[in-house]
Amino acid sequence: MSIARRILQAAVLLLATAALSGCNLLVLNPAGDIAARQGQLIVVATLLMLIVIIPVIALTFFFAWRYRASNRAATYKPDWDHSTQLELVIWGVPLLIIIALGAITWISTHLLDPYRPLDRIAEGRPVPAEVKPLEIQVVALDWKWLFVYPEEGVATVNEIAVPVDRPVRFRITASSVMNTFYVPALAGMIYGMPGMESELNAVINAPGVYDGFSANYSGAGFSHMRFKFHGLSDADYQRWLQGVRASSQTLTRSAYLELEKPSEREPVRHFASVDNGLFDAVLNRCVDTERMCMNQMMAIDATGGLGLKGLGGLATPRRGDPRLGAYVSAQVCSVNDAPAPGLASPSIAGMKAP
């Protein structure tokens, strides 16, 4: 029975190994240079840690076998409690590994900073001097992704296309809750947060269609908050742009306010044109032109604020979906209210979204 069990266990192990051998470990075999360098960092860190882990596991089994109760030939030293040589190995090797990991992490943190413009498109291939990064503005909505191409004047929902070997600069924000922009083949995860902008500089080095998604739970439709990332040749990218420009839809501010409403399983959509300054309006929470922009509010604060009397207009935050009500009452955001005497200068009063 014992022999049959061992044979069965060996067969299961072989089948599992064969199945895993066909897997494409995308994180360790990506198509983008930044993701590839991050994958190399994972491999190096793992190998360094295995220098300790493998001997510890092996010695655990060796000691359990060598000093088992039935082995009368094993050396018995009940009073032994110290070995300088052993202490040096136990403390010295992990210390050296920690120093090596710390140095690698410090260097990689700066080299792979998502805000740092790319200095190469692949190993041994620096970015050509005449190449300008492609800017894509990313907005995480509930529960879909909006991508705006300011240079091209177009926008898409749940689809990105970029030329192969051209640096891309992503400007990332969110409409209501925090999400994570993640294309495993391209680079690591970058958070998008309402009222804040984060950045990612990356490049894709091989044509193909790759998966992108949110890696931060954001509500009921999170599981379907996915998009396709297309790496295209220059000619195919231009053809893709022509297809987007052929769309009959335009992304105005009013269209964005409709798109912003929560929805699940949103299909790919193309917009042939986009209102100027839409991304900055999303970032400053003032797509609705009747709302004051965050940067305008900060300008008021920089001039000294509205004083103690201005606190009366603040509303108590509500629980649940922020869409149920503003955190600042209408008295503060109204564009028509005259300023109270002595509270704000005429240049500040009546400010509204551009």
Q: Is the dihedral of CA 154, 157, 161, 167 positive or negative?
A: positive
Longest dimension (CA), the chain: 97
pLDDT number for residue 11: 63
Could you list the pLDDT tens digit for every one of the 354 residues in the chain?
466 666 666 666 666 555 554 455 667 778 889 999 999 998 999 999 898 899 899 999 998 888 888 888 888 888 888 888 888 988 998 899 999 999 999 999 899 999 999 999 998 899 998 899 999 999 999 999 999 999 999 999 999 999 999 999 999 999 988 999 999 999 999 999 999 999 999 999 999 999 999 988 888 889 999 999 999 999 999 999 999 999 999 999 999 999 999 999 999 999 999 999 999 999 999 898 888 888 888 877 776 666 555 544 444 444 444 444 444 444 444 444 444 444 444 344 445 556
CA 304/CA 296 separation, integer angstroms: 13
pLDDT number for residue 71: 86
DSSP annotation of 13 reads H
Angle at 333 between CA 314 and CA 287, to 5 degrees: 125
Strands 159-163, 226-232: parallel, antiparallel or unpaired by DSSP?
Answer: parallel
CA 154 to chain centre: 23
Q: Is there a contact between 81 and 88 (Cβ–Cβ < 8 Å)?
A: no
CA 10/CA 178 separation, integer angstroms: 46
CA 211/CA 229 separation, integer angstroms: 6
Residue type, 89: V
Q: Is there a contact between 214 and 190 (Cβ–Cβ < 8 Å)?
A: no
Residue type, 46: T
CA 230/CA 66 separation, integer angstroms: 58
CA 272/CA 255 separation, integer angstroms: 13
